[in-house]
Every structure is written in C-alpha cells, then in structure tokens.
Homo-oligomer: A and B are copies of this chain.
Amino acid sequence: MEKQTVTIYDVAREAAVSMATVSRVVNGNPNVKPATRKKVLAVIERLDYRPNAVARGLASKRSTTVGVIIPDVTNIYFASLARGIDDIAMMYKYNIILTNSDDAGEQEVNVLNTLMAKQVDGVIFMGNHIDDKLRAEFKRAKAPVVLAGTVDPQGDTPSVNIDYAAAVEESVTNLIQRGHKKIALALGPLSQSINAEYRLTGYKRALNKAKLPYDDKLIYEAGYSYDAGTKLQPVIADSGATAVFVGDDEMAAGIINASIESGVSVPDDLEVITSNDTIVTQITRPSITSITQPLYDIGAVAMRMLTKLMNDKELDEKTVTLPYGIARRASTKSAE
C-alpha cells in the first residue's frame, strides 16, 4: 500500500486549469486571476497537495538547500555557529545539509563535492584551516561559499570572524599590565592558521609593545580537550609561567582543575584567560575569564551573506569582522 502522491498534474486536472497556472499559484505569482487562484487553492487543500521539492529543484535549478561543513557538531563552539546559520536559513526558507568533516582536509573536499552534487545553492564552511586544495575547490564550485568562524589568511573567500589577533593581544596585554613577565600560550595545532597566524601574532604583538622577550618555550601545542589541558598543566607549571592564555575552554578547564589539584592557586599563582566563552567558563571554580565572541551572530551573518551571494547580489564587505569582548571572571585578578 504505497502511499499515492498527488502531483501538480492532478491538481491541474481537478481544478480544470493548466499545470502552469497551478505552478503560478503555488509560487505566489501575481499573474493569476483571484477567482482562479481561489479555485486552485481549494483543490490543493482538498487533495492535500505538497509540491515535490526535488522536481522543483530540477526544473528551477535551485534546491533551496545550503550545505554546511562543520568539524564536529558536538563541539559547542561550532554548534553555536550552526545554530545561527540554521535559524537564518530557515528564515529565508532554506534547509541545511550538515556534514561533519573532522577537520580532515581530504574529508572536507569529499564532502564539498557531494554537497555540490546535491545541487546546494551555497555552502557555509567551518574549519580550522584552509589549504590550497580546499581553496581551489571553493573556486571551482559553482555555488558560493562563505566561511564562518574560519579564517583564510588569503582572504579569497567571503568570511565572518572576530579579530582573533587583536583579542589575544588585548588579553595578553591585560596580563602584562598586571605585572606578568612569563606568559604561556596554550594552543591547538600550530598547523592551523588561526593559531599560527592569528593568536600567535596577537601574543607577539602584546609582548613587543611591552618590550618583553619572546620565548618559544612558552608556546604549547595541544589538543582541544579537557584531558589535553590536565596533561599540559604540569608542563606549564614547570615553565615558571605565571599566566596563560588558552585557545580552548575545555583545555582551560583542564589546566585549572589540574592546577588546583596540584596546589597551584588560580589566579594567585597562575592567571588564566581562555577564548570561547562557552558555558564551561562559568562552571569551573574559579570561573574563567574569557574572550567573548558573538557565536550565534557569526553563523547568522555568514548565512545572510550567503543568501545575498545566492541571489547574485554584491556583498558590502567580503570579510566581516564582528566585535569581541572580554568577560572578566575569577581566573584573573582584577586590574590594579
């Protein structure tokens, strides 16, 4: 007992009009006499007709679907962007095909290709690193691509971000002003440009301005996880650093908990500032001072840009930089 599907043809026949007319009323085309529209609408209602989006997509060459490439949905940072993306997409009647890439270059390219095969009207890409391969794929794709929370140092692709370098610079400068001389920097993989080219740059700029020496022994590369933080803590403690800027909230939580459990007081012996202002920063004790980012908005703005591109409109600015803030919590001392 396969369920019978009602097609536009059935509606046309029942309403004694042509398919073209039915199509017009379904799509809100004004060139239909009110009486006709009403008649067609009644039949649609009666037959419970639902337009087939696939057929529509084939005929119109627009799928009203956008692809979203995300490293991992379970990562709260990216999930927050995804939420902003989906809300705006829904507002504009688009749906989201969401795929996890695990940040793996090869997978990212694959996924992008299957999305293009599905005829998505556009793509929002989130990831930690854009390499040449990917950049080339973006270029050959026939649908527009926008980066969300993702930096491309070459700036070829439209993107929405905060100024990571400035945020780190400001955070580290704060630490310096409170008298710290040895400030550690705990980041994710330096192969990712957000770390190597933005956060590190901000860090160096802060040191430079204060005429503090740069010591690469204070730069730590670890995973984006709680456990990575707990493992890293003794190393940081040994370095003699009295403050640390951390690139990931869970990592920061690990560092804090491990510090306290090993008798290192936070913030007295070690001040900690982290990057993403997730709920984690409020749950730890002490709570963690953090850069704040408008996560939802980064996604939302990226999606808005994409809708423009999908409608062949010009972008006001190709690279959007949203404002960041710094939420002071208990893992840092108050300014003097």
Tell which of A127-135, A165-173, A282-290, A319-327 binds the partner.
Answer: A282-290
Q: Give the interface size class of chain A.
A: 35 or more
**B contact residues around A250 at 8 Å (CB):** 279, 283
Q: Is A274 close to B, CB under 8 A?
A: no
Q: How far is the CB of A180 from chain B (nearest CB, A)?
A: 25
For A235-260 the 0/1 string (1 means CB < 8 A from B) is 00000000000000010010001001
Q: How far is the CB of A79 from chain B (nearest CB, A)?
A: 5
Using CB atoms, name the residue of chain B closest to A260. Answer: B285
**B contact residues around A260 at 8 Å (CB):** 285
How many angstroms from the CA of A254 to the CA of B50 in the assembled complex?
46
Q: Which of A75-134 contact B (CB under 8 A)?
A: 76, 79-80, 82-83, 86-87, 90, 95-100, 113-119
**B contact residues around A257 at 8 Å (CB):** 283, 285
B226 touches A282 (CB 8 A): yes
For A54-66 the 0/1 string (1 means CB < 8 A from B) is 1101100001010
A5 touches B50 (CB 8 A): no
How many angstroms from the CA of A72 to the CA of B96 in the assembled complex?
14
Q: Is A3 close to B, CB under 8 A?
A: yes
B97 touches A65 (CB 8 A): yes
Q: Is A51 close to B, CB under 8 A?
A: yes
